[in-house]
Structure 1
Amino acid sequence: MAAITAPAPTTARPPSYYVRQRLLGNKPAMFGLGFIALCTLIAVLGYWVLPDNSPSANNSIVQLQKEPPGFQATILRLPAPKDSVSADNVFLTWWQGRAPRYAEQPIGSYRIVGDSLITEPYRNHSALADKSRRYSLAQITGHTGSAAELRQEVEETHIVHRTYWLGTDKAGRDELSRLLLGTRISLGIGLVAVLISLALGMLIGAVAGYVGGWVDSLLLGLMTVVWSIPGIMLVIAISLALDSKGVWTSFVAVGLTMWVDVARVVRGQMLSLRTTTFVEAGRVLGLPQSRLIARHLLPNMTGPLIVIATSNFAAAILLEAGLSFLGLGVQPPAPSWGLMVNEGFQLLGTQAGLWLTLLPGLAISLLVLSFNLLGNGLRDAYDPKTPLSHA
């Protein structure tokens, strides 16, 4: 008689394991997460990875304005005024860039004759450069030496062949550098807005849902009033109240307009959870209300809060872009994507207007799409009815 073998025991896994498996199997969500991670890496590295690491990527060469993507130029680097050159500092460069060490000007061609460099004008763009110019090698390098040494230094250090992969804007600035640096502002304003909205929304929603009564009615009325005011109007009002239109003002203003979504979700979840058995047990044990809310109720809302945070992240990026486009958000020369779209929009009808509008607009669309895809994936991942076989 064959022996009867018992089925192998199944390993108990926490709910977070299944959430993670559903999310990892969702290809659109993983694409969104990958693009967000790439933008985050670029934002964190900042000026360290930019072709133009001047403050706000604002190194302007007027002769190179509105050049198409992929064009190349030969740049002559001349000594910059000593009072405008700061000492190299790795962390200061990462935070706010480095002042240009050279005064740059484009040239058409050059030749070295004896101890002099003779340059031809760059496409005759400048009326001041309509003829050849002569520079002494000592003037360019800033020191004296043998002609051979000076010539080698000039050709290796002071003559640069540069490729502008995404062209230049109307001020002659590198479009790629400004586009990459714009990730800092977009992700920064999204992060600050989400943190402010989560902190304020969780506080107001938790108090309204748990306490109930007239407190709930009062806070619900406040949510309804704020909900009825357009977000852009609220940001404008907050900016006027703070009497500023700087970067940090835009960050705070956008965050203060997005807490209602969080508060309504937290209030609804709190109303359904406050009558559960574990909450009643906590009351019987004499636990303070603040501990019940912070340690036992809010952690049970992690899933919905994460989903709404990703949605608010995308909404904050769009709101900041719209405000900057209108001139009410981040101010020049900061490279905000919305401001860059506005600069390109002013040139529509010209050859440069198309890509100067399309490139930052595409960056905004891809980043917002990525957050929406990730939010949809998180919503499905936290839904226990979503089968793992489809993930």
Structure 2
Amino acid sequence: MERRKAQLNKDIELINSTLSKTASDKRVTLKQLNALRTQIRLREEKISTINSEIRLLDGQINENVNQVRSLQSQLTQLKSDYAAMIRFAQKNQGSYSKLMYIFAANDFNQAYKRLKYLQQFGEYRQKQAKYIEDTQANIKNKISTLNKNKREKDHLLGDQQKEKNTLGTAQSKQAKVVSSLTSQEKKLKQDLAKKKRDALQLERAIKQAIDREIALAKKKAEDEARAAAAKAKAEGKVAPTTKTSTGSVLNSTPEAAKLSADFVSNRGKLPWPVANGVVTEYMGVKKIGGVTVNVDGWTIRTNPGSSVRSVFDGTVSIITDIVGSTMVMIKHGEFFTVYKNLSSVSVSKGQKVSTKQTIGTADGQSEIEFHIYKSKIEQDPKYWLTPN
């Protein structure tokens, strides 16, 4: 929970930098609204994390309180037993001495046993005294831990209240932004229409590139099938049958099939395309000012000039400019990953890349688009990338 809270603080700081940059802009933008929504989501998650920490501390406090009570009860019993032992020793001290008790034995064996009994009695008294000291020290430590837990809880409660206050401010600001966008409905619809056109243009470019990859793989598979058939005919054998589905075409070589299988086996464990980033737009349908928008892929906010990296081993399929920004697509067997909004690219078409290898840098807006496709079917990155 501490690690998660630290990560949330980093993400909130990243989003705050976005908001501070847009604060001077008098015209409200969708980017500003997305940043506010992300900030609110992160703060709500941080409050939830703090609540979990408080519940955990409450459990530890209750456990320590019960342990202190149990130890105090044990200490009372130990002191009572020790006092009774001392009274018994004092009461019987004048009746006979230890030597007389030993010499009064009937034989040597009984005398030895009496000697051992006196030694054990003395050792037991020492052990009881040690038990009392240890129990007192244990109680002291538990009380110290309990006080520490209570201080931590007080700190968390203060942090929680601070986050709630900040959250309230952010929610009020979001309401104003939404209201402002609604009042600028014509401009909002124009922005959303442009956003939709850009998304469609990107989708067409991606699918055309995938179609080319499928066509190349199909041609290669057909050429290999013809060669195999000719060889089989020459040897008087039956020609092997070949599959023609898109998936099998893209996986027509052992290398491609293994790459696809490895990609699938890493589902939910793929690294992020940037070392430090926060999602400002998730894949799915959302409403903005009463207008429904279908969002493809993820938009990830990162630091200016951050390196963008491949999430898995593969081969660079295309590098092109789409809607005024550079896009790189990497082929991983029958899977494809797309990285858009790069200001520079450090790889070339046809180059093999490895997991986490830098392929370029984020543009001046510090927001990249990231997409995953299985053949031509888009996948939701949240099921493939490692949870942040």
TM-score (norm 2): 0.23
Please state which structure has a larger fraction of its residues in strand. 2
Which protein, 1 or 2, shows the higher relative CO under an 8 Å CA cutoff with sep ≥ 6?
A: 1
Whose radius of gyration is greater, 1 or 2? 2
